[in-house]
Chain A
Amino acid sequence: MTQVSVVNLWKEFEGQVVIERVNLEVAPHSFISIVGPSGCGKSTFLRMLLSQEAPTRGAIRIDGKSLPAEPTEQRGVVFQRYSVFPHLTVLENVAFGLEVAASRLLGRLFGARRRAAFEGCRGILEEVGLDAARDKYPAQLSGGMQQRLAIAQALIKKPKVLLLDEPFGALDPGIRNDIHQLMLRLFDETGMTVFMVTHDLREAFKLGTRLIAFDRYRTRPEERELYGATVTFDIPLDRATAGERRQAMDEIAPRVSASADL
C-alpha cells in the first residue's frame, strides 16, 4: 500500500510562480482526479510526481521516501500521445518492461526466456482486450486501442503509482466509456494509487475517489507572475453517493473555468 505525501510544494519557471503551497496527504489506494483551467499547473504537478521536473521548493514523498531525481519504475505513466513505441508490436511494447529488467546488457530476451516473458504478457493483454491484436504495430491501432496498450505497458511493471496525463482526452465518447470501466477495474485489482489530470469534469468525478482542483487565487495581471496556482478544491468522493457527486459537480463546474462548458 502506497502513501504519497506532498509537502509545501512550489514550482517557479524563470521567476514566474506556477504552483505554490501545495500540501496533500494521499491515502493508500486513492484515485486522485486533478482538474483546473489550462495553465493552472496541473500538468506541471504531474511532471513533478514523475520527476520529469524538479520542485523549486518543498518535497514529494512516497512511503516516506523522497522522490528520486529521475523517472523510475516506481511510477508508471500514460500520456495523451506518444506513450507507446511505434517500432514495436503490441506484444513487444508490453514485454519491453520485462525484457529490460531481465537483460541489462541487451535489453531483450531470446529463445525460451523470451517466449516465457511474452507468454506472461498475454494475461494483461487479454484484460485490456488487445490479445487478438498482439502482433500489430501501434500505427495499425485506433486511438482507444493505443491508450489501452499504453496502460497495459505501464501496468506490467506493477508501479506503486500510476500517472495519467489526460489519457482519454482524444478518444470518442463511447470508447472513452469502455476505457473508464477498464480503468476502474484495474484500479480495484491492483491496489495502486492513481493520479489523473483531466479536462473532463464528468470523467474526474466518475473515476476519482478524491478530486482536487488547481487554480490561481490572484488573477490581476500584475499579480500573475508573483502568485501561482494552488489547490482550491479538495473533495473526497469515495463515500459520496451519486446524488452528492452530482451536487458537488454542479457546484464546482462554474468555478473551474476550463470545464465550464460541461
Chain B
Amino acid sequence: METQPIIAIKNLWKSFGKNKVLRGINLTVDKGESLVILGRSGSGKSVTIECLVGLLEADKGKLEVFGTDITKLDYKALNRIRLRIGFLFQGGALYDSMSVRENLAFTLKHHTAHLSEIEIEKQILEALDSVGLQEAIDKMPSELSGGMVKRIGLARTLIIKPEIILYDEPTAGLDTITAKEISELILSVQKKYKTTSLIITHDINCAKMTGNRIMIIKDGVIHAQGSYDELMNSPDDWVRSFFV
C-alpha cells in the first residue's frame, strides 16, 4: 500500500522583485526519509524550506506538510503544524540574551504551561544529552564555539519532539572534523527520535553521510535526483561537478 508523503511540494514558485528564485519546484519526502537538497549558493535551497514553514510566502504552488496545504492555513493552524517541525538555522539562531538553559526552556514554557520546573529541567538535560553538551547548560551563546552553537540549536529543536527536522546548511562555516561530527549527530538524532529530515547543504560529505536521497537544484527547478552513487556517476557533467 502506498503511503502519503509527509512533505509534498508541488509547483512552488517564489520571486524577490524581478528575480525568480524558484520556478516550479516539485518534491516529496516520505516519513522517516532523509532528503538532501544540493545546489550552488543562491539557487533557492534555503528559500524552499523557508516557504515550507511559512517564513516566506510562496507566489504559487502547493506546500503540503502532514497532508495539509500550509499556504491555505491561518496563523493559528500554521503554528500547530510548526510545532511538529524543527528548524535548524544556518547560524544556530540562539537567543543571545538567554543562557543555553533559557534558550531550551523558552519554547517549552510557551507551549507546555502544565509542565513543572523539574519536568522542564529534565527535558532540557535530555535534549542536551542527545547532542552531548550537558556541560554547556549555563553558558551564554557568546561563550560557545560554532560547532557548539549548531549542537545547542539542534537540542533546542529536539526539545519540542518534532516529527520533521529541516536543516539549513548544518555544516556551513565549520572545520572538516566538526562538520563530520555534526553529520554524525544528524544521523544519531534521526535514529533516536525517528525524525524525517530535509537537509539543505552544499557540503558533499554531509550529503553522503546523512541523505537517503539527494536532489540538486539548478535555476530554480530540481535538475537531478537519485542516490549519492547514481548522481556521482551521472552522465551530466554539471551534476558530477558537485562530487569532485
Q: Do A and B come from one complex?
A: no
